[in-house]
Structure 1
């Protein structure tokens, strides 16, 4: 079993120069690279100490989009202190005695550079290609063509139905949405409800207080019940499509058909109430 000292020795070995993930030659150094136009430290590169400053700039230009003629290159130590500005193109990197973890900072002097104004980082600046309907229809073997063919064969075809067929299991069509045209729909059920009464919503068992009974502009014809729920499991604050029917906190309001609302003695549920048998 490894001791704490053994584990620490292993960590020291792995983090030591030349042992970082793979063997490192004595003439190479690992340097972090930052850029004046890019927000974050964006890479770590291995550099040979025998490379000239010009060769270093050429290598960096392939990564950041800044040309060598537009590049001012600074070297900083691991604390961020400026060590040197690499201005002599034929000077070798080893002249500056860099260590693993030091920083090469690129200053891009070209205001029209590829990296300027966030073009390499902000994807919102990139124009997205949008295919026109005509171009999409001209393509072969598309989902749109497949769907059209399936609907031609079966007007009730759906992707869900197709999956069931492929899996060899029965397909149960979802119930069709109720199409209501009667302005007095569920008037009888609504007449049994009164504003201010406690209620329970079924299915679901959510409880609350009836705050409105009547028709709602913007909702399908017929009668509706506005309920202020005891918990924030609703969808509104008593407002429906710009018209307010009652006041409550956002998320506590709900509008339902009268047959979903059961009036009665439904006190607010106390989640912390225990019976004698539940007490410890």
Structure 2
């Protein structure tokens, strides 16, 4: 081991990091050779959850041969002569650690959240209530199916439902994407860089459910005139 290693400038190495408890954990992380072993542990703590005081470190070369145990927290990391491509192995020494027992990897060990039907029915803003609201606008038709004909207020603009759901880049709550029969919209189904549906340019609109009526709304005849 080269205890007299001279570290120049801001030299750093790119190492593959593995963990004793997290079998699926593998990350390529760059470390400065000037920081202490304790600082290396602090950086790894943020990555894998093992506390600094419970962490042991082993350095392996590119042939998977162990080079050394990093036992002195006060030494600069470069003292142990790591090179690009080497592996830094984290050993969690705490039997009660959050990483032990597979809790962070095996989702079957996690208690699942559940809610009763009664409690769900009392909640506002659920998708079930949204669907019911659309259906109540015209009980004879399903109110949430893609392809349903609709009419949008204001303006009695007719079209086809092309999207129903959340649109996080617009505003909270549910939205209905409509393809108008005529170029009365604002886009082609893409809004703020997110594509919600496809339609011809200026035929698309994203509107709130209370503006949409579902029903038998055929396309208007372009040559239709009022009787005199």
> Which interval holds the TM-score relative to the shorter structure?
0.5 to 0.7
Match in the other structure for 1:76:
60
CA separation in 1, counterparts of 2:64 and 2:25?
12
Distance 1:74 1:47 in 2: 15
Q: Distance in 2 between matches of 1:131 and 1:114?
A: 27
Q: CA deviation at 1:43?
A: 0.7
Q: Structure 1 residues 159 and 56 mapped into 2: Cα distance closer, same or farther (>3 Å)?
A: same
Matched, 1:157 2:141: yes
1:60 aligned onto 2:61: no
State the SS of the aligned residue for 2:38: helix
Which one has the largest radius of gyration?
Answer: 1
Deviation, structure 1 residue 138: 2.6
Structure 1: runs of 5 or more not aligned? 1-24, 170-280
Three-state SS of the structure 1 residue aligned to 2:148 is: helix
Relative to 1, partners in 2 of residues 1:146 and 1:56: Cα closer, same or farther, differing over 3 Å? closer
CA–CA distance in structure 2, aligned partners of residues 58 and 160 of structure 1: 51
Alpha-carbon spacing, 1:28–1:56, altered in 2? closer, same or farther (3 Å): same
Task: Compare relative contact order (CA 8 Å, sep 6+) and give the higher one, 1 or 2.
Answer: 2
Q: CA deviation at 1:70?
A: 1.2
Out of 99, 110, 119, the residue aligned to residue 83 of structure 2 is: 99
SS at match of 1:112: coil
Aligned residue number for residue 112 of structure 1: 96
SS of the equivalent of 2:18 reads strand
Match of 1:128 among 82, 103, 112: 112
Contact 2:135/2:144, CA 8 A, preserved across alignment: no
Moved >6 Å (runs of 4+): none
Whole-angstrom CA distance in 2 between matches of 1:72 and 1:149: 58
What TM-score, normalized to structure 1?
A: 0.47
CA distance in 2, matches of 1:66, 1:120: 12
Confirm whether residue 40 of structure 1 aligns to residue 28 of structure 2: no
1:46 deviates by 0.6
- Contact kept, 8 Å, 1:32 with 1:41, in 2: the verdict is no
CA distance in 2, matches of 1:30, 1:164: 55
**Can you give the 5+ residue segments of structure 2 that lack an aligned partner in the other structure?**
1-8, 151-157, 161-228
Rounded to whole Å, the distance in 2 between the matches of 1:48 and 1:150 is 59
Evaluate the alpha carbon distance shift between residue 46 and residue 115 of structure 1 in structure 2; reply closer, same or farther with a 3 A threshold: same
* Structure in which a larger fraction of residues adopt helix: 1
> What TM-score results when the alignment is normalised by the length of structure 2?
0.57
The residue number in structure 1 matching 2:173 is: none
Q: Which has the higher strand share?
A: 2
Aligned mates of 1:28, 1:151 — CA distance in 2: 62
Q: Does the CA-based 8 Å contact 1:78-1:102 persist in structure 2?
A: yes
